[in-house]
Amino acid sequence: MKTHPLLKIQNLSIHYPILSGILRRQIGVIKAVDDVSFEVAKGKTVGLVGESGSGKTTLARSIIRLAPLTAGRIFYENIELNTLSKKNFFPFRKKIQMVFQDPFNSLNPRMTIDGIIGEPLDIHFSLSRTGRAKRIAGLLDLVQLPKNSIHRYPHEFSGGQRQRIGIARALAVEPEILLCDEPVSALDVSIQAQIINLLKDLQAELNLTYLFIAHDMAVIEHVSDTVVVLNRGKVVEQAPADVLYKDPQHEYTKMLFASIL
């Protein structure tokens, strides 16, 4: 019996008008994402790879309604998300969380770690003070940060530690899928490996599903079951990771490989 994918992107397009003149007349269109389709199976990782400006982040943001669709459909299991009202979409925000590229800019500098991780708990759950504290302590343990971190502020942590905090915040509401938007690109190579290993361990422990966005083919190789190659908003190649890395077909994919040699 065929099962539904956890996430399905079908013929997705996101276009932005080019406006000019005092009257702001449209003179063209930017096709940030253009007729993109792929699926993400439960418990697996799809790597979405391409250069800067290829549409990767815009696509991910559209899944959680941070970028408007021009056309296409987004399914979570068999539910079409883009047809839901804001109220009916709200429960899916728990299921789909995002890990951002720059952990420093994505964390409120005026909030302690207790507040940063606790904020989504306060929005989505009704926990007692004890229950809330226990949940935050458990999340810090999951991402391998000391429990006494709760009273500190983001600027007191290294880049890798801040990304761990961002991951803990994303996990707070017990999501099923993480949209990882270049989560290691701002980090030193040695720290990148630590965060990638952490994400893989969390996936195995919590049965998480990942859409992992990167521009680095070496990073994508380490995390992905399937790879989708995006160039100027279009999918140019899509294949199981082991197949694509042995025998890339499209010239753009080959160019991405050449950039890491």
Mean pLDDT in runs of 10 for the chain (261 residues)? 82 94 88 97 97 93 95 96 95 94 84 95 91 96 94 93 96 97 90 96 97 94 96 97 95 89 57
Residue 46 phi/psi, 5-degree rounding, is: -105, 125
Q: Supply the pLDDT for residue 254.
A: 94
Q: Supply the pLDDT for residue 146.
A: 95
State the first-to-last Cα distance of the chain, in angstroms, to the nearest integer: 43
- In order of their start, the domains of the chain are 3-257 (3.40.50.300)
CA atoms 210, 4, 243, 32: torsion sign: negative
Per-residue model confidence as pLDDT tens digits over 6-23: 999 999 999 999 988 888
Amino acid of residue 242? D
pTM comes to 0.92
Q: Supply the pLDDT for residue 222.
A: 92
